[in-house]
Chains A and B, each alone.
Chain A
Amino acid sequence: MNFQIAVLLGQDGVTNGAIYALLALSILLVFTVTRILLIPQGEFVTFGALTMAAIQSGKPTALGWLLLALVLIDCALDLRQMWKTGKQAGAMNYGEIKWSAIKIGYTAMLLVLLHSLTLADIPMLAQALLTLALVVPFGPILYRLFFQPIASAHSLVLLIVSIALHVAMVGIGLLLFGPEGARTAPFSDSGFRLGPVMLKSQTLWVILVSIALIVMLFIAFERTLYGKALRATAVNRMGARLMGISPVFAGKVTFAMATFIGALSGILIAPITTLYFDSGFIISLKGFVGAIIGGLASYPIAAIGAVAVGMVEAFSMFWASNYKEIIVFTLIIPFLLWRSLTSRHVEEEE
């Protein structure tokens, strides 16, 4: 291996590592706030990437209709709930109707946009925004439909539902996007020459957007009251409820953030790798390894761990490409050992 190859591999490693770091952070965020291990995180990545690819090829994706169906179910459930509590209280609270109208209106508007625009010709930024507008609402709606009714269940139950949701979403991905892989156009074609090597511009995009997103997350959680409210829910659920921070609200917001991060990651890496309907799982699993290195508790260690996973993956591809995945996932064992040997057992007071 010479210096040039090392730089190329390092470039790959950092690019993948940045994506894994984003996924690790969102897995961690969802886990600490809702106790759900978000296995479908990878599907948000593929949904983002494949929707972007569909839009670029000018096809209005059927994802919009799926969203409409889920929104209708969601609104029907909310209205039924409103009817039931309203009858008990003897007075209806009509706030839900307004919300339902907004949600259905939003979806209808997206559908109109999808079918009236010549999707392949609009600027790439608009395509990306449309993709996000389409994919992100799935987060809160999936939380509402599948996790909100069992929010207080044992975390094992939550995990099982999460796996089921992942399997279902892979199937739906196949149905919506077909078995072909997709690759999108890069954001820009230019490259940068740094010493002897050429840096691909997409690599820089990935790294810059990831860093910007991590900084934004940090500011949101350290400086804004809404971010603090989410942290508070993670620290002490009962305490948060007593402050009026509802677990439903926290769950929906974290799921929205996780979907946003996932879909954006998908859009970012779609020009670099060919993604298939089932590629998401292995990607998010590597993010998960990063989250485990952080003990499912520490954000900075999870991010660094995820970047390390990307590096190890890139270099093992060079030396032992057949064993690439095995090497990456074996990484988890020493960390689990180290964690279980060093962590003291603290009795929960409850």
Chain B
Amino acid sequence: MMNASELLLDVRQLRVAYGKVEALTGIDLRVPKGQIVTVIGPNGAGKTTLLSAIMGILPSKGEVHFDGRLQPVPEVEKLVGQGLGLVPEKRELFATMSVQDNLELGAFLRYRRGDRHLATTLAEVYSLFPRLFERRHQQAGTLSGGERQMLAIGRALMGKPQLLMLDEPSLGLAPLITREIFRIITDLRRQGVSILLVEQNARAALKVADYAYVLEGGAVAMEGPAAQLADDQRVIEAYLGLASKHQELLAS
């Protein structure tokens, strides 16, 4: 269904082991340009490990092709330079620095390469997150959970990534804020940013995504177009259920 030339990220047979324990056992995953791909699955399925390995934070075996180039040993700094952004689960903000400093640092590599048009990007990020503009002089550590998530996403956007990887963006956030974050995710796709979204909130994730992978025990258990998976009986039983009906409301 997708042809290779429009693939932005192509992961083949990715394996990660913590000592003798295999956390990922040969993952194949593709993200085409301009799409939202989501990875859902229970706790401990290896979702965060997957993103860390693609980013080069964890050592891995297998092949990672990004933007048509094979990354022999994925290196964080190099991948960031090629346009891959990761918003990690822990956000990893610069807590004692101001919101604006955090954002400016997101564009560090662009600045280092002589790109001086940071102000335009900064204005775009502020228009996407007016809350951050209100709090631009505040220390990042004093923000609320939702604002921190916005800052983490905004900071990653300052680097003008081609592919943004989001790890549990709704984790620990109030339902209304979650909804806001998902609205922004769809906004971003409209602006041409491809997204790899890792989520526990399966219903919301399947709603915004084009394509989905279900990760279980370190391997891909199911994959397919998101709309199709959302109707799949097994997915409904395992991840959607009746109890999470309210999530659908929030994701709308």
* Interface, chain A (partner B; CB < 8 A): 85, 88-90, 225, 228-229, 231-232, 235-236, 238-246, 349
A246 to B81, CA, bound (A): 11
A88 to B96, CA, bound (A): 40
Contact B105 A228 (CB under 8 A): yes
* Interface, chain B (partner A; CB < 8 A): 55, 57, 70, 72-73, 76-77, 80-81, 85-86, 88, 90-97, 101, 104-106, 108-109, 111-112, 155-156, 159
Shortest CB-to-CB span from B193 to chain A, Å, is 16
A236 to B92, CA, bound (A): 7
Given contacts A225-B104, A244-B109, whether A239 and B92 have CB atoms under 8 Å apart is yes
Residues from chain A with a CB closer than 8 A to the CB of B94 are 231-232, 235-236, 239-240
Q: Which of A235, A242, A246, A349 is close to B97, meaning CB atoms less than 8 Å apart?
A: A235
A85 to B109, CA, bound (A): 22
Contact A225 B105 (CB under 8 A): yes
Contact A236 B95 (CB under 8 A): yes
Contact A89 B72 (CB under 8 A): yes
Instruction: Kindly name the residue among A236, A238, A242, A246 whose own CB sees the greatest number of chain B CB atoms within 10 A.
Output: A242
Contact B88 A238 (CB under 8 A): yes
Q: Which of A235, A239, A241, A243 is close to B159, meaning CB atoms less than 8 Å apart?
A: A243
A225 to B115, CA, bound (A): 13
Nearest B residue to A88 via CB reads B72
Contact B70 A243 (CB under 8 A): no
Given contacts A89-B70, A228-B104, whether A242 and B93 have CB atoms under 8 Å apart is no
Nearest B residue to A231 via CB reads B97
Residues from chain A with a CB closer than 8 A to the CB of B86 are 242
Nearest A residue to B72 via CB reads A88
Given contacts A243-B106, A244-B80, A244-B109, whether A228 and B101 have CB atoms under 8 Å apart is yes
A271 to B105, CA, bound (A): 42
Given contacts A88-B72, A89-B70, whether A245 and B108 have CB atoms under 8 Å apart is yes
**What are 9 sample pairs from A and B whose C-beta atoms fall under 8 A apart?**
A85-B73, A88-B72, A228-B101, A231-B97, A232-B101, A235-B96, A238-B88, A242-B76, A243-B155
Shortest CB-to-CB span from A86 to chain B, Å, is 9
Contact A242 B80 (CB under 8 A): yes
Residues from chain A with a CB closer than 8 A to the CB of B93 are 236, 239
A88 to B74, CA, bound (A): 12
Instruction: Kindly name the residue among B80, B92, B105 whose own CB sees the greatest number of chain A CB atoms within 10 A.
Output: B105
Given contacts A88-B72, A89-B70, A239-B92, whether A229 and B108 have CB atoms under 8 Å apart is yes
Contact B88 A228 (CB under 8 A): no
In the complex, how many residue pairs between chain A and chain B have their CB atoms under 8 Å apart?
Answer: 74
Contact A238 B101 (CB under 8 A): no
A244 to B111, CA, bound (A): 11
Contact A235 B77 (CB under 8 A): no
Residues from chain A with a CB closer than 8 A to the CB of B88 are 238, 242
Q: Which of B91, B95, B96, B105 is close to A243, meaning CB atoms less than 8 Å apart?
A: B105
Q: Which of A88, A238, A246 is close to B73, meaning CB atoms less than 8 Å apart?
A: A88
Residues from chain B with a CB closer than 8 A to the CB of A225 are 104-105, 108, 111
A228 to B108, CA, bound (A): 9
Contact B97 A228 (CB under 8 A): yes
Shortest CB-to-CB span from B57 to chain A, Å, is 8
Residues from chain A with a CB closer than 8 A to the CB of B77 are 241, 244-246
Given contacts A225-B111, A228-B104, A232-B105, whether A242 and B70 have CB atoms under 8 Å apart is no
A245 to B155, CA, bound (A): 13
Q: Which of B72, B95, B111, B112 is close to A235, meaning CB atoms less than 8 Å apart?
A: B95
A89 to B104, CA, bound (A): 32
Residues from chain B with a CB closer than 8 A to the CB of A90 are 70
Residues from chain B with a CB closer than 8 A to the CB of A231 are 94, 97
Shortest CB-to-CB span from A39 to chain B, Å, is 27
Residues from chain B with a CB closer than 8 A to the CB of A236 are 92-95
Residues from chain B with a CB closer than 8 A to the CB of A241 are 57, 76-77
Nearest A residue to B91 via CB reads A239
Residues from chain B with a CB closer than 8 A to the CB of A245 are 77, 105, 108-109
Shortest CB-to-CB span from B63 to chain A, Å, is 11
Nearest A residue to B110 via CB reads A244
Residues from chain A with a CB closer than 8 A to the CB of B55 are 242
Residues from chain B with a CB closer than 8 A to the CB of A349 are 90
Contact A232 B92 (CB under 8 A): no
A90 to B63, CA, bound (A): 14
Nearest B residue to A247 via CB reads B77
Nearest A residue to B71 via CB reads A89
Shortest CB-to-CB span from A278 to chain B, Å, is 38
Residues from chain A with a CB closer than 8 A to the CB of B70 are 89-90
Shortest CB-to-CB span from B56 to chain A, Å, is 9
Residues from chain A with a CB closer than 8 A to the CB of B80 are 242-244
Shortest CB-to-CB span from B34 to chain A, Å, is 23
Shortest CB-to-CB span from A308 to chain B, Å, is 25
